[in-house]
Amino acid sequence: MAAARDLLRFSPSFRYGAFILVVVLSLVALSFFSPYEPDRNRVVPRNKPPSELYVFGTNANGQDVFWMLTFAVRNSLIIAGLAVIIGRSIGVLLGMISGYIGGTLDRVLSSIVDSFIVIPRLPLLILIAAIFRGQMTMISLGFLLGFLDWAYPSKRYRAQILSLREREFTHTAVFAGMSTLKIVLQEHLPFLIPYLLADAVSGFLFAIGFEITLSVLGLSDLSAQSIGTMIYWGNYYHAMLSNTIWILAAPVGASIVIVVGFYLVSLGLSTYLDPRTRLVRLQVKGQ
């Protein structure tokens, strides 16, 4: 709680980003109160511009764009959240084991991580999605994105563990007879949590960007509402040519707002964790 108060007090970027994400989460909450099912067509008049009745207008299928957007944002965040949980779990596990145990195991795991890092993720993701086209659900897409986003975090966590391994409290734990698993989980993991939170925000940006990319290319589950599929169907029905630009403006605007919100939160967390800013905060508190 104290860290959260400090973030809100000393980091304007975190404060603005958190406000944006609260608005986004409020939009997600509205999806549970939608008067329409996400996959139902012809429930409202077609291609109506934004108005008091239809805030973001309607599309060519007779769907309310605003309520579609609530489902789309929710599903996109679910995909991103699943990818972050899987990717960061793998990264933390491998990074902690590799950094603490060291030796041959560290060299082997580091070689695997380095080999995985040089693989271009976007072409690989497009290839896999094209192979399983028509069978890629939201859950499977979240798993796939998570399995492709663990190598870079693993390197960062390994570097932190290498530093913690030489600290006095680690030697004390070893002399006390604690097992390797207990030392890593009880003594080292708490030090990684702040960095993990900042890294998780970056993971959300990665997953949302890749979900939109695959959906716009028609390689994801096009029957499910997401930010990317909204853009895909807007292009499919020629929203630009038919002067129904609001159909594309809603998902594009939502993606920009979400990215900006996560970026500002990530920037605030990174600044807060920077040791060079701690002295400034301490001086301000002392006044």
In a domain, 277, yes or no: no
Segments forming the whole domain that contains residue 30: 2-270
Q: Is residue 279 part of a domain?
A: no
Q: Which residues of the chain have pLDDT under 50?
A: none
Is the residue at 287 inside a domain?
no
The pLDDT assigned to 33 comes to 93
Tell me how far apart the alpha carbons of residues 278 and 63 are, in angstroms, rounded to a whole number. Answer: 51
The alpha helices in the chain, defined as continuous H runs, are 2-10, 12-30, 65-101, 103-117, 121-131, 138-147, 151-165, 168-175, 180-182, 189-216, 227-236, 246-273, 275-286
List all residues 6 or more positions away from 79 whose beta carbon is below 8 Å from its beta carbon.
138, 141, 142, 145, 207, 208, 211, 226
Report whether 86 contacts 147 (CB < 8 A).
yes
Instruction: Indicate whether 134 belongs to any domain.
Output: yes
In a domain, 119, yes or no: yes
For residue 93, what are the β-bridge partners?
A: none
Contact 248, 239 (CB under 8 A): yes
* Cβ atoms within 10 Å of 181's Cβ, excluding its own: 11
Residue 97 is assigned to a structural domain of this protein: yes
Q: What is the pLDDT of residue 68?
A: 95
Written as one letter, the residue type at 71 is F
For residues 258 and 17, what is the distance between their CA atoms, to the nearest angstrom?
Answer: 9
Alpha helices in 148-186 (DSSP H): 151-165, 168-175, 180-182
Domain CATH code at residue 143: 1.10.3720.10
- Tally of domains within the chain: 1
Which structure tokens are listed for 143? 């798993």
Q: What local confidence, expressed as pLDDT, does residue 8 receive? A: 67
Taking a C-beta distance cutoff of 8 angstroms, is the pair 18, 252 a contact?
Answer: no
- pTM equals 0.88
Residue 143 lies in a domain: yes
Q: Which residues pair with 64 in a beta bridge?
A: 58
- Identify whether 201 is part of a domain: yes
Amino acid identity of residue 51, one-letter, is S
φ and ψ at residue 64, rounded to 5 degrees: -75, 120
State the pLDDT at residue 287: 52
pLDDT tens-digit series, residues 195-251: 788 788 888 988 999 999 999 998 888 888 999 999 999 999 989 888 899 999 999
